[in-house]
Amino acid sequence: MKTAAMLETYPATMNVDRELLARVIDTLVECSQACTACADACLSEEMVADLRKCIRTDLDCADLCDTTARVLSRHTGYDANLTRAVLEACAVACRACADECERHAGMHEHCRVCAEACRACEAACAELVAAMA
């Protein structure tokens, strides 16, 4: 993957395993894409009014995943406390989005796919937080 290749070019020492970091960044980007697509698919559903909360949680999760991926991609002047807080907030957003999408997964396949991406991302964030301890 390009993320791993890019991290390998970083000239200074990192305080975290580069392979794990690359995997988490890729998972964050994938989750953001799934959430953005799910929100858009919800907007095209006939019962869009019933999906307001789902759309909101999708968009919140996508934004937090994007931000977290960007924070994790920067290492100069690294701040472990900020990074941990961002990862923990992202995990909360992923959990909330997965919970909401699972409520609609029986009727909307895009919600099922999104929930799976969110659960994977929540786990990836938790794994990196644990590795930072």
Longest dimension (CA), the chain: 52
d(CA 70, CA 48): 31
d(CA 35, CA 47): 18
pLDDT at 15 exceeding the cut of 90:
no
User: Quick check: 110 and 23 in contact, CB under 8 A?
Assistant: no
pLDDT computed for residue 83 by the predictor? 94
User: Which residue segments constitute the domains of the chain, with CATH numbers given?
Assistant: 17-132 (1.20.1270.360)
Tens digits of residue pLDDT in 16-53? 889 999 999 999 999 999 999 999 999 999 999 999 99
Amino acid occupying residue 11: P
Mean pLDDT (whole number) for 48-60: 97
Q: Quick one: pLDDT band at residue 118, thresholds 50, 70, 90?
A: very high
Tens digits of residue pLDDT in 80-93? 999 999 999 999 99
